[in-house]
Amino acid sequence: MKNWIKRKTQNITSEETATPSKNFTAMNSNSLYSHPVNELVSIIFRFDTEVKNLVKELNLAKDTLSSYKDDLPKAQEQSLLYKQHNEALQIECNRLAKDLNETTTTLCSKNGQIDLLKNQLFSKDELIQSYKAKIQDLEKQVLELQMTGINFQPGDEVSQLKMKLESLQKTNLDLQKQIPVFKYEMESIRTKMQDELFITQERAKDELERAKESHDSQILILKAKICELETFKQSYETLKQELETLQTQKNSQDEKLNNTLSELHQKTIKISTLESEIQNLNNTLIETNNKNDLTNTEILKLSQKLEVINTQKSSQNFTSEIKIKPLSNPLPKEIDIKPLSNPLPKEIDILTYTKNELDNLYKSLMKIINPSNSLAYLIKIEDFTTFEKNMNNIVMQVHEQLDEISEEKSWAAKARSPQIGKSKGRTPVKLFSCMADQDDAPRLIPKPLRPVQQVDSCTVLRRGSAN
């Protein structure tokens, strides 16, 4: 039993030393939103390993608890055996005490018998003494009778008394011989019984002490085991609660991770849609740039033609025919100008004024269609309409001034402070095919097909001449 207790205490100490330290990962749910996905996944894996370790510790505690529960009936059986052995020893002690009482009673009875024998011997001695005194008296009487001369023969009574005296003396001698024997036997029985009683008392005392010590130690061990079982139960409950809290935290973390993954998926979808929108906007920007280049080429063509008209020295009469293409054509109508010989100063003033107005219109067009802070632009129909009206007014005014060249009017005054008037019954024409109708809603400018132009070294267009 002592070896078993020692082995169990060694197992308990080894298990206590073998239990690892509880190192948990502290996590704040508010700081999870700032972590990337890789750190969140690593946190979840570390959290899973910690939960697995806790489950292992919980299973180990369950195993130790079950082993203690299995060992508890054995300990209870052993304590019951010790209790039964203690009861048997108590019964044996009671039996020995009963035997001791019986021996003491027998010893007392023997002592009473000895006292009775002593009394009988004393009474017989007294009777012998009385018989001796009577015999002496009788002998004295016989002597007195003999002295007086009377022959006296003892009678039957005297002979009987002598015989009784002799028998009493014999029995007295026998009794005196038996008295030391009885005394020796009584002393031997007494010493033997005392020795046996002392031995049994000492043995019973030792057995009682050992049984009491073992019983007390067994009770202490059982109490310690009960305390350990209670502590294990409490630790089991705490571990169970911690496991439940960790499970709830894991569920919340999984939910947050799923939410973050769903948000990430939505953001990836948004990124893909934004990339597609950016691609569309880039395409639209390319279309707009192509449209801008096309407009620049058209305006530069007009400015080049005006410069050619300005530099030519031709006659006063010149004619120009303006051909308007259909609206489906993305390029503007070309202006066929016949060179004049010997231009007048009025004509030169008209051309310079027209060139300045066209430059201003070009700048306003660049302000409309070239915003610097957006990838795509929306041009309102009102802006195009005003631009188109201004351009048509300028062209119509050029036609009117060319018609009125023959008349003597002061064009120079108008050139100094030009006042654009209304067109005289002429139908305005659209110079750019990309312009929308007046009744249309604002729209994105479609991508025109840029015509392939051959660039030769003789005719080089000056870009940005209006600037």
What is the distance between the alpha carbons of residues 147 and 388, in angstroms, rounded to a whole number?
213
What is the distance between the alpha carbons of residues 93 and 203, in angstroms, rounded to a whole number?
9
DSSP class of residue 76 equals: H
41 confidence band (pLDDT: 50, 70, 90): confident
What is the distance between the alpha carbons of residues 425 and 403, in angstroms, rounded to a whole number?
14
* pLDDT digit string, tens, across residues 229-272: 888 888 888 888 888 888 888 888 888 888 888 888 888 898 88
What is the distance between the alpha carbons of residues 426 and 394, in angstroms, rounded to a whole number?
12
277 confidence band (pLDDT: 50, 70, 90): confident
Q: Which two tokens stand for residue 334?
A: 């070309």
Instruction: Specify the amino acid at residue 344.
Output: L
pTM reported for the whole predicted model: 0.28
Beta-strand runs (E) in 210-337: 320-322, 335-337
129-133, 182-186, 290-294, 426-430: which range is least confident on average?
426-430
What is the distance between the alpha carbons of residues 388 and 429, in angstroms, rounded to a whole number?
9
Mean residue pLDDT across the chain = 69
* pLDDT digit string, tens, across residues 390-442: 877 877 777 777 666 655 444 444 444 444 444 444 444 444 444 444 444 43
Average pLDDT over residues 191-197: 80
What is the distance between the alpha carbons of residues 344 and 328, in angstroms, rounded to a whole number?
39
* pLDDT digit string, tens, across residues 300-321: 877 777 777 777 644 444 443 3
Structural domains of the chain, ranges and CATH numbers in brackets: 47-250 (1.10.287.2610), 312-416 (no CATH)
When mean pLDDT is compared over 103-117, 374-388, 434-448, the highest value belongs to: 103-117
Q: Which residues pair with 337 in a beta bridge?
A: 320
Please give the backbone phi and psi of residue 126, each rounded to the nearest 5 degrees, phi first. Answer: -60, -40
Sequential DSSP letters for 258-286: HHHHHHHHHHHHHHHHHHHHHHHHHHHHH
The CA–CA distances, whole Å, from 446 to 20, 88, 363, 434 equal 73, 116, 21, 8
Quote the radius of gyration of the chain (alpha carbons, Å). Answer: 73
How many residues does this entry show for the chain?
467
Residue 150 confidence (pLDDT):
52
When mean pLDDT is compared over 177-191, 379-393, 418-432, the highest value belongs to: 177-191
Residue 209 confidence (pLDDT):
82
Query: In the predicted model, is pLDDT for residue 27 greater than 50?
Result: yes
Q: Which two tokens stand for residue 148?
A: 């007086």
The CA–CA distances, whole Å, from 102 to 41, 97, 108, 183, 350 equal 89, 8, 10, 19, 165
**Region at 27 (left for phi over 0; alpha for psi -120 to 50; beta for the rest):** beta
Query: In the predicted model, is pLDDT for residue 100 greater than 60?
Result: yes
Q: Which residues pair with 443 in a beta bridge?
A: 379
Residue 170 confidence (pLDDT):
81
* pLDDT digit string, tens, across residues 336-379: 444 444 556 766 777 777 777 777 877 777 776 665 445 455 66
**Nearest-CA neighbor of 172 among 109, 127, 112, 110?**
127
Count of C-beta atoms within a 10 Å radius of residue 158: 15
What is the distance between the alpha carbons of residues 136 and 131, in angstroms, rounded to a whole number?
8
**Nearest-CA neighbor of 384 among 403, 409, 407, 367?**
367
Query: In the predicted model, is pLDDT for residue 91 greater than 80?
Result: yes
User: 9: helix, coil or strand?
Assistant: helix
Q: Which residues pair with 379 in a beta bridge?
A: 443
Average pLDDT over residues 322-328: 36
Q: Which residues pair with 314 in a beta bridge?
A: 341
What is the distance between the alpha carbons of residues 352 and 70, in angstroms, rounded to a whole number?
116
